[in-house]
Amino acid sequence: MTSPRASRHPAATHPTPPADATQQLEVVSRPPVIRAIAPPALGALTVVAVMASLVVGDRSISPGTVVDALLSTDMSVIDHQVVWGSRVPRTVAGVAVGAAIAVAGALVQALTRNPLADPGILGVNAGAAVAVAAGVSLLGIGGMQGQLWCAVIGAFIATVAVLAIGAAGRGGADPIRLTLAGVAFAAVMTGLTTAITLLDVRAFDAMRTWSAGSLAVRGIGPTLQALPFVAIGLLAAAAAARYLSSIALGDDLATTLGVPLLRARLLGILGITTACGAATAIAGPIGFVGLMVPHIIRWIVGPHQGWILGLSALAGPCLILGADVLARVATPGGMPVGVVTAFLGAPVLIAMVRTRAVSGL
Amino acid sequence: MQRRRFLTLSSLSGLSVLGLAACSGSESASEQDPGPGGEQAFSFTPANYDGVTISLDQAPVRIVADIYSAAALQPYGIEPVGVFGFGATGSGKGDLDLDALNVLGLEGELSLEKLAAAAPDLIIGVGNQEGTGWTWWEDEVRDQATEVAPFLPIRMGGTPPEMIQEYRALAQALGADSDGSEIATAEEDFNAARERLRTVTGQKPDLTVLAFNTTGDVIYTSTTLGVLNMLAEDGVALVGPEAPEESSWAEVSWESIADYPADVILQAETSVGYEENPLWLSLPAVEADQIGTWDDKRAYTYVAQTAWLNELAAVLEDSERIIP
């Protein structure tokens, strides 16, 4: 006969999570049925967003013609040229950028345990921007290819610098120190970018289109070059995912649970910088997507970091493509997607700050 | 926003040192050779400004000009004591060597401090609607700049020969030699280049030409700018969307540009971000490599315009009709 005590006993030998964390898990967790429905539903939504992005544009092309263009391409037809020359590159860019920024956002929120964090908070955007400006101004690097490499390298340098600043002194790189270092670094880099663009007309022109955050890419080439970086970022995020739920409980507890903190953080940083640097290089700094998407997903599936990361990779493209299509429908000449996400994102941010319940990690 | 604040700041600091700088400026002026002009009174009535006449008791010696005007006046030996404005990187600067010139500010910026230090007798530039100042100046800058020296506006919009004549007349009023043999030869070459253009358009009257300009995301086309009016006069069949009433430029998206097929595309020399765009590469004129250049801001000198006209004529001579 097994004693009821015996079955309860082993659990008691494990460290007990703090009361508030347990409570949070119980409050925000969703029933399994929602987790089962969420992936196919989001997948379907993504397919709809992709189709909308391919069909909606300045030139009116019927969905049938779009399918024709994709399946039996005839490049002597102008509509087919437009589908392949404009809509496919833009859609691929939207999917890559959306997935990368959303996953980077989920990673940075989990790592810093800061529900209001965004990839911008680690100075990634600012580092990429200053590198692009400096590349144009000092080295005469023009064109999308040069811009891409400048942005990725800038994002890496920014992250390393922020980590070094944040980890200096006693206690190492704790989330608050890291966040502060990121914000301070971003402020300095933004000032530098402004100075460069004020002093150099060519840099000013190059930054003007890029800094608005636009999917109007010039051909698919630059996006394809950035895709490996996005892929590395997503893989690193997947590798880090299993540690993140424990890290959300605090460093001490995570260590006690056997999480290799340094390795988890390095994986997370790798994911954030490669994914976000590449996304920023493709489309410029697009704000709020990295903030909004993980929150929405967390609200749907509860605080399980694996689910949040995976579903963010689906929901990010939905949001970016949706915002881009919205901009094309609502304004005659279209509008940079970064402007639309800012319009959508700012009210969401305010709502989140006011109702703390949805933003618990 | 940042740039505007920068501009205002330099305007304010300019005002505070105005008196001081004017002193030092007039000192250095006396050291200089008076050059052309001198004791005679000066008067010039710019074309297409109803009732605007600039009159001075003495012919101006120290001239500040925007880059476009400085470039247009250069063939007549007029050397400005300061230049400012747009055109530092394109064909608008003609044969000016900006490194050797006193630059008072580029693009929309102007250092009023440097302007005052240059102590000009006259400021010449592209005029605003009323002819009261430079067309890209804000009112505050205009007021402070025209306190330093009177402003002589040049109305843009004419064809290149009209604009060249306008600057030539101004050069004459300034006391420069505007009819020297070099100028006469340059004018003959210019007319010969136009004749060459007329010959080729006479042989290929159906050849359609699209004047193209792009910032990467948006395409701008025109059929009504001064330089294009000259091409139309010489028989070039310009195509493209109609511009809205208030502008010389029509806006077209990359998705729609194929609706305006042309045998030859003139790509603006200032265009950027189009080289790798598949929709650029699939345009018939690009596929057939029937591409010329143009620039509506090209310096209004016979030499600069002639060189370009000859290039254009060569492109048209080599081009065939490809649009069905």
- Strands B122-126 and B219-221 come out as unpaired
> Which chain B residues have a beta carbon less than 8 Å from that of A198?
2-3, 6
In angstroms, rounded to a whole number, what is the distance separating the alpha carbons of residues A247 and A252? 9
Instruction: Flag residues of chain A having pLDDT under 70.
Output: 1-31, 116, 142-145, 169-175, 202, 205-206, 208-212, 217-218, 332-334, 352-353, 355-361
- What residue numbers bound the domain in which A191 lies? 48-213+222-359
b/e code B275-300 from CB counts within 10 Å (16+ = b): ebbbbbebbbbbeeebebbbbbbbbb
Among the partner-chain residues B89, B253, B278, the one whose CB lies closest to the CB of A219 is B278
Question: CA-nearest residue of chain A to B109?
Answer: A198
Q: Do A85 and B282 touch (CB under 8 A)?
A: yes
> Which chain A residues have a beta carbon less than 8 Å from that of B218?
333
Q: Of A112, A127, A148, whose CA–CA distance to A283 is shortest?
A: A148
Note every long-range contact of A178-185, with CB atoms under 8 Å and residues 24 or more positions apart, other chains counting: A178/A112, A178/A122, A179/A112, A179/A114, A179/A117, A179/A121, A181/A123, A182/A121, A182/A122, A182/A123, A183/A121, A183/A123, A185/A123, A185/A126, A185/A127, A185/A158, A185/A161
Highest mean pLDDT among A279-288, B101-110, B224-233: B224-233
Measured at the CA of A327, the angle between CA A151 and CA A149, to 5 degrees, comes to 10
Whether residue B321 lies within 8 A of chain A, CB to CB, comes out as no
CA of B8, closest CA in chain A: separation in Å? Answer: 14
User: How high is the ipTM of this complex?
Assistant: 0.73
In angstroms, rounded to a whole number, what is the distance separating the alpha carbons of residues B83 and A237? 55
Q: Is A26 a domain residue?
A: no
DSSP-based three-state secondary structure for B272: coil
Q: Do B215 and A209 touch (CB under 8 A)?
A: yes
Question: CA-nearest residue of chain B to A333?
Answer: B253
Is residue A336 left, alpha or beta, with left meaning phi > 0 and alpha meaning psi from -120 to 50?
beta
3-state helix, strand, coil in chain A (%, to 5): 80, 0, 20
In angstroms, rounded to a whole number, what is the distance separating the alpha carbons of residues B83 and B79? 10
> Which chain A residues have a beta carbon less than 8 Å from that of B255?
57-59, 82, 86
Q: Is A184 a domain residue?
A: yes
Q: Is A1 a domain residue?
A: no
CA of B232, closest CA in chain A: separation in Å? Answer: 29
Domains of chain B: 2-173 (3.40.50.1980), 181-318 (3.40.50.1980)
Q: Do A198 and B6 touch (CB under 8 A)?
A: yes
Whether residue B55 lies within 8 A of chain A, CB to CB, comes out as no
Give pLDDT, residue A101.
92
Give pLDDT, residue A174.
66
Hey, which bits of chain A come out as E strands? none
Q: At what angle do helices B302-318 and B181-203 cross, to 10 degrees?
A: 20
Q: Is A137 a domain residue?
A: yes
Among the partner-chain residues B2, B88, B255, the one whose CB lies closest to the CB of A82 is B255
Among the partner-chain residues B89, B106, B251, the one whose CB lies closest to the CB of A333 is B251
Q: Are A75 and B281 in contact (CB under 8 A)?
A: no
The total of structural domains in chain A comes to 1
For the segment B79-90, what is each residue's pLDDT rounded down to a tens digit?
999 999 999 988
Q: Is A136 a domain residue?
A: yes
CA of B86, closest CA in chain A: separation in Å? Answer: 10
Give pLDDT, residue B18.
39
Indicate if the pLDDT at residue B17 is higher than 60.
Answer: no
Q: Do B282 and A81 touch (CB under 8 A)?
A: yes
Q: Of B232, B240, B169, whose CA–CA distance to B198 is shortest?
A: B232
Give pLDDT, residue B60.
95
Contacts of A19 (CB under 8 A, 6+ apart): none
DSSP-based three-state secondary structure for A68: helix
Which residue(s) pair with B55 in the sheet? Answer: B43
Mean pLDDT of chain B: 88
Q: Is A23 a domain residue?
A: no
Give pLDDT, residue A210.
67
For the segment B273-313, what is each residue's pLDDT rounded down to a tens digit?
888 889 999 999 999 999 999 999 999 999 999 999 999 99
Q: Do A78 and B3 touch (CB under 8 A)?
A: no
Question: Which has more confidence, A68 or B6?
Answer: A68
> Which chain A residues have a beta carbon less than 8 Å from that of B256?
58-59
Question: Which has more confidence, B16 or B138?
Answer: B138
Q: At what angle do helices A221-247 and A305-330 cross, to 10 degrees?
A: 140
For the segment B299-308, what is each residue's pLDDT rounded down to a tens digit?
999 999 999 9
Q: Of A105, A21, A49, A22, whose CA–CA distance to A298 is shortest?
A: A105
Q: At what angle do helices B139-148 and B18-31 cross, to 10 degrees?
A: 40
Which residues does A contribute to its contact with B (CB < 8 Å)? 57-59, 75, 78, 81-82, 84-86, 89, 142-144, 194, 198, 201-202, 204-205, 209, 214, 216, 218-221, 333-334
End-to-end CA gap in chain B = 49
Is residue A113 left, alpha or beta, with left meaning phi > 0 and alpha meaning psi from -120 to 50?
left
H-run or E-run covering B83: strand B82-85
List all residues of chain B from 95 to 114 with a beta carbon under 8 Å from chain A. 106-107
Q: Is A343 a domain residue?
A: yes
Q: Is A17 a domain residue?
A: no
- Residue A316: count other Cβ atoms within 10 Å of its Cβ: 31
> Which chain A residues have a beta carbon less than 8 Å from that of B107?
201
Indicate if the pLDDT at residue B107 is higher than 90.
Answer: no
Q: What is the CATH number of the domain that holds A226?
A: 1.10.3470.10
DSSP A134-165: HHHHHS---HHHHHHHHHHHHHHHHHHHHHHH
Is residue A250 left, alpha or beta, with left meaning phi > 0 and alpha meaning psi from -120 to 50?
left
In angstroms, rounded to a whole number, what is the distance separating the alpha carbons of residues A64 and A54? 11
Note every long-range contact of A140-144, with CB atoms under 8 Å and residues 24 or more positions apart, other chains counting: A142/A206, A142/B272, A143/B273, A143/B275, A143/B276, A144/A217, A144/A218, A144/A221, A144/A222, A144/B273, A144/B276
| Residue B131: φ, ψ to 5° | 85, 20
H-run or E-run covering B292: strand B291-294
Task: Report which residue type is found at A202.
Answer: R
Q: At what angle do helices B160-173 and B302-318 cross, to 10 degrees?
A: 170
CA of B314, closest CA in chain A: separation in Å? Answer: 29
Alpha carbon of residue B119 to chain centroid: 24
Q: Do A219 and B215 touch (CB under 8 A)?
A: no
For the segment B166-194, what is each residue's pLDDT rounded down to a tens digit?
999 999 999 999 999 999 999 999 999 99
In angstroms, rounded to a whole number, what is the distance separating the alpha carbons of residues A141 and A183? 28
Q: Do A86 and B276 touch (CB under 8 A)?
A: no
